[in-house]
Structure formats: C-alpha cells, structure tokens
Structure 1
C-alpha cells in the first residue's frame, strides 16, 4: 500500500502527515506559531520562516514515529509549494526536495488552496467532486469551480483584504487578541449583529463573484473613531460596544461569503458546496451555510475544525496526482504568487 509523506509550511504552521493511497491517515503533526505572532496582531513573515527552519525536521521525525514506520517505507514526498509566504514555502520545499533526492522517491507539488478543498474530501470519506469550492483563510478568499480533484477554475477572489485578514485587523481595532477570528467570534456572541449597518461590498453585483473587505474594515474603524480621526486604540469602548461591533462586522463578512457561494452554485449548476480554510471554523458562518444549504437542498461539506486551519492531512490531494501520473522534478520551486483566474470568469 503506497504511503505518502505530506509537508505543509505555507504560512505559520509547520505540519507533516503520512497518508496511504486509500486516504487513511497514519499520523499527523502540526506545530502552531500563534504565540510567536500574538504581540504583533498578525503573522510576521521573517519570524514564521525562522520558526519553520527550527521545527520542520522535528515535526517530520515525530510524524514518522507516530506512524510506526521509517522514512524508507514512504513511496512519495509531497509538499505545498504555492501560494504562501516566500520564506515559509522555501523551508518546506527544500525539505521535501532533499528527502525525495536522498530517498530516491518521487516528488509531488501541491497547491495549498486546492488542498483546503480536498480536506472536505478527507472528512467526507466519499467523493465530493464536482463542487463549488470556497477557500477562506487569513491570506485568501476564493471561489472555485472544481470539476474534479485536479481541475480547479477560479471564479472569484478578494480584490483587497482576505476575510481572515480582515478579522485580524478588526480584532486589533477592538483590542481583541490574535488570532482575530476566534476572538471576534467570542465577542460577537454577546453582541447585536444589526447594531451597525456595515457595507456588503460587491454582494449584489451580478457580474462578479469577487469579494472586497477593505471598505468593511474602514467602516468599522470609522464606527469606532468617527470620520477623520486617528488611532482606534485611543478610543475607550465598553464591552457591549465591542460585542456589537464584532457581531455586526462578523455578520457582514458572513453575508458576503454565503451570498457569493450560493450565487456560484447557481452559475455552475453544481449542487455541492465544499468549504475549507481557517475562517470556515467560524460558528456563525457554519450555521448560515447549513441553513441556506438546507433551504436550497444543496449538499454542503465543511471541513471539520481540525482540518480548517493549515495542516498536512489535506496534502493527501497528492494521492490524486499520483494516480494521474503527475509528478515534479527537483526544479520545483516555491511560488508565493497571486491567485490567478482563467479566462472564463462567470460564464462558460
């Protein structure tokens, strides 16, 4: 039974997993860097890459030990090489290429965003393709037409801040700790989601599936300080004001994500929505998606919480490339890159 070592270092989690060609997870290890970045209110790329250098070999070693096998027993090495932070990606790619060369094993490059959708396949235990895929994380907010595990067409993406990035920045404004997603979710539980009429940019535009959260972030700032004033941290907010701002902000983000996702289903004609990425852990989002999916009779698959944040289990998408005979050579390089769409945006 072929065994795959998968490596993930695209941002601030150092992760490795061992999976079989039957998608059985033999072991999975994730080393988080949350505490390293808390004081900055967001991920510092240089700190992230240095932490990966320190942790990559111990994480791989622990993964192999937990699986009860040796490196010699693996049949291929897979690594997320795009998109992500340049320094972080380089650590994972270098480790994967070194292992592939030393062990004489095939190398498989993985697209990190496609792997987030494949986390839904891993969780469901069944085929989930074709589907519309929604990836929502700290760095990306994307909608895909997923015809099969290796055929992804970008339908829409953020034109400015990603949803997770907006959560982190608004959390700083509200004096809430990093990471912003869980902090805002907790604060919002006691707030009024309709207290502030924040904008839902592009939500009602029938000609695009793109997202925009920068204006929403600015609207929160003005709600705190008033137009033309400066640092939100200088404004003393009551606990209830923080809760109301958090709830109203969260509701605006959720409205945009849910609205665009089901619009994508209408356009593609698909009847399944798969959702992955760190922001997919948000309780309010999951509830709204479930309600809308039930109303429309849509098959909804959301990655479980442990597979929402970055992990290497979702790197099992490498199994699909293995079966298709798609491999990489040692010229594989990190591609921090940008998310690019095909020529067909909505139509076709």
Structure 2
C-alpha cells in the first residue's frame, strides 16, 4: 500500500474524500505551489522559473532569488488554487520545504505556509527537500516501489547515494566532500562559455556535448581525474579545477577545443557517479532491487545510458521522465494538472508530507527553517528552534 491502509481509510472516512495538501517550495531558484491528494491525484502544479534572471549572472544569486520568490509566491499559490478549482476551505493541510536550501529562499515558502495554515486553521508539515526527492517515484508509479531501495540524488545542491528504508529512515552511504555535480556543471558551463539551454546550464552542456564535430573533438585525448578511488565519497571540486587548468595552460578559451574539453568533463563527471554506485552495490546490492535516480542532473540522457549499460545484474533503474527532473524550468507560470508532476517541485513536497498528515503528526506554527539538514537526522528528533 502507498500508506498505512488504516490511516488512509480513517482520514478519508472522516473527510468523505482523500486528504488534500497544498505545498509550497522555494528552496533555490523556482517558486512552486501544488495541490496533491492521498490518492496521488495532482490537482494543480505551478512552477515560476527564475531561469531568465540567473542566466544573466551565470548562476543563482541568493538575494536575487529571494526577492523573486517574494514577488511570485502569492500569485503561485493563487494559481494553484484556481487551476484546481479549489479554495483554502477545501485544503486539509499545508506543507512546505523546511530545508536544506538557501536560507533566505527557504524563509519565503516557510512564512507563506505558516501564515496560510494559521489563518485558515490548517495543520502544518515541514519537509526535507531530499526526502521528497527520494520518495517521489511512488507519486508517479502505478505500483508502490518496495523498501528498501537506493536513491542516487544528483542536483545543483546535492550528490549522494541514499539507502531508503522507509518514509523516514534514510542512510546516506556516499556523499560529496566538497561540491555537488550540479553546481560543478554550472561553473564549468560558465567557464567554457557554453550557451544555456531553455532549461538551464546543465541541459546546455548536454546539448553542446551532443553536437556533431570532427575527430579533433574526441574527448579521449583528455584525461580528467577520477578522485578518491575506492572510497565511498564524491568530489567534484578537483574536476572543476582540471577544466580551469586546461584552459589556463592553453592560454585561454580561444586556444582549446572547447567541445572536446566539455565532452571529457561530462564523461568524467558521470563516470564518477557510475563508479561510486558500483561500490555501493557491492555491499548493498543483495538487499535492494531498485535504484532511483532523481534531481536535475538525472534528466541527462548520456547519464541514463551510462548507468543502465554499465551496471548489470538484478537492478532496475527508476528514472523520472526527463522533463520531470528539472521542474520544467520555464520563464512563466506553468500548471500541469493532467500529467505527472515535475520532480523538483511543490508536488514532491506535498507527497513527502502525506504520511505525516495521515498519521496526524504535525509541526507547530513557530517551526524554523533548517538550511543545512542531513537526511540521517530524520531518524532523530527535529533540530531545536532558534531562540
């Protein structure tokens, strides 16, 4: 079952319908609102992208993102309710991204959610962003994904392999010691002056590397490092430094084969994911049958191909549709109630909160954000409030 059948049936009986959650997300650079119910119906799903703003500065600027969230959150909430043809009286609970994320950006969805919940006397739940990533596959699958399974989380803020044992029991098996793969891709795209695609710098790199070119664009002539061999840890700062050194040694961008360097970088970045996942499967492969790959970087077709062809055995990879990995980063409000929700979106926050709402496990209205928050801590009491 998706949740405890007893809890789901009891709440549905009391309401006369499945429990509905309005969720808000603003942890980084997209302002999001969605309404999802316990039967997995996505009533509305709104994304307001800041892609056009941050493209001008080559990446997310925290204060710029914060101000954009403040401008757009009220209209995102209103659009979510309008598209669902619902009002706050029809909502049973309010959820939001509590962390991790940019502190100022988190404060926008937190304050909006607390205000809505308090004003309308609704229960409130704060959600761990990476927990939501790990649990989202069951929102889009026809049958529940059985615990335990592995989750490879690859995004602008995180690169980790997590053993998912329940809705709240996560064990981080492999984490980055410095920079995430998504953040590194963003920096390298800027360094190599690669055009962004409509969905951002990562898709821009993928499109650029797929460009047809002559033999002198063969990435095999370069040999980027694979850091920390044999260790269960990611490191991408060194790969970024390798690109910097390669450009500097050649005397500037105009003296290198940019396509070959970009291809070598992308291959090395993805090979590291492959190698570390193989290490994890040697010790945990007997206990799991599924590997969920989520986060913005998971939309890359080359990464999907590499993982599926290099890792054999009784392992099934679960990939969201490419358009669902990045939250469909568009430069206007997008509502998609008729299709599966984007992964990095408020819909995933709503779904991750559902088991707590059904168990009547709520947060106080004075809950604080947690910008730095390990998945391992979900097994422990929540972080203390700031006095």
Matches within 5 A, 1:1-348: 1-128=18-145, 129-178=147-196, 179-190=200-211, 191-202=217-228, 204-205=229-230, 208-226=231-249, 234-237=252-255, 241-268=257-284, 269-293=287-311, 295-309=312-326, 310-315=344-349, 316-339=351-374, 341=376
Residue of structure 2 in register with 1:345 after alignment: none
TM-score, normalization: structure 1? Answer: 0.90
**1:296 Cα deviation from its structure 2 partner:** 1.8
Tell me the TM-score normalised to structure 2 length: 0.82
Task: Indicate conservation of the 8 Å contact 1:120/1:275, yes or no.
Answer: no
Bigger mean CA deviation after superposition, 12-21 or 298-307? 298-307
Conserved in 2, the CA contact under 8 Å of 1:307 and 1:314? no
Cα deviation code 1:32-54 (max 9, x no counterpart): 00111112111000000100000
Structure 1 contact 187–242 (Cα < 8 Å) conserved: no
The runs of at least 4 aligned residues of structure 1 exceeding 4 Å deviation read none
| Inter-CA distance 322–340: structure 2 relative to 1 (3 Å threshold) | closer
C-alpha distance in structure 2 between counterparts of 1:95 and 1:297, whole Å: 45
Q: Which residue of 2 aligns with 1:346?
A: none
Q: Please give the per-residue CA displacement for 1:93-133, whole angstroms capped at 9, x wherever unaligned.
A: 00000011011111011100111122222222322232111
- Structure 2: runs of 5+ lacking an equivalent: 1-17, 212-216, 327-343, 378-387
- Please list the CA deviations of residues 152-189 of structure 1 after superposition, one character each: whole Å capped at 9, or x if unmatched: 11112111110001101111111113432112111111
- The alignment covers a number of residue pairs equal to 331
Q: Report the counterpart of residue 332 of structure 2 in structure 1.
A: none
* Superimposed CA distance per residue, residues 296-325 of structure 1 (whole angstroms, 9 cap, x where no aligned partner): 231111122233122111111111222343
Q: Secondary structure at the match of 2:126?
A: strand
Whole-Å Cα distance in 2 between the matches of residues 119 and 14 of structure 1?
A: 19
Shift, 1:340, TM fit: 6.3
d(CA) in 2 for partners of 1:163, 1:142 = 10
Q: Which residue of 1 aligns with 2:6?
A: none
| Shift in Å, 1:338 | 4.8
Deviation at 1:137, TM superposition (A): 0.7
Give ranges in structure 1 of 5+ residues lacking alignment. Answer: 343-348
Root-mean-square deviation (Å): 1.7
Q: Deviations over 1:262-294 (max 9, x none)?
A: 32233223121011111111111111122235x
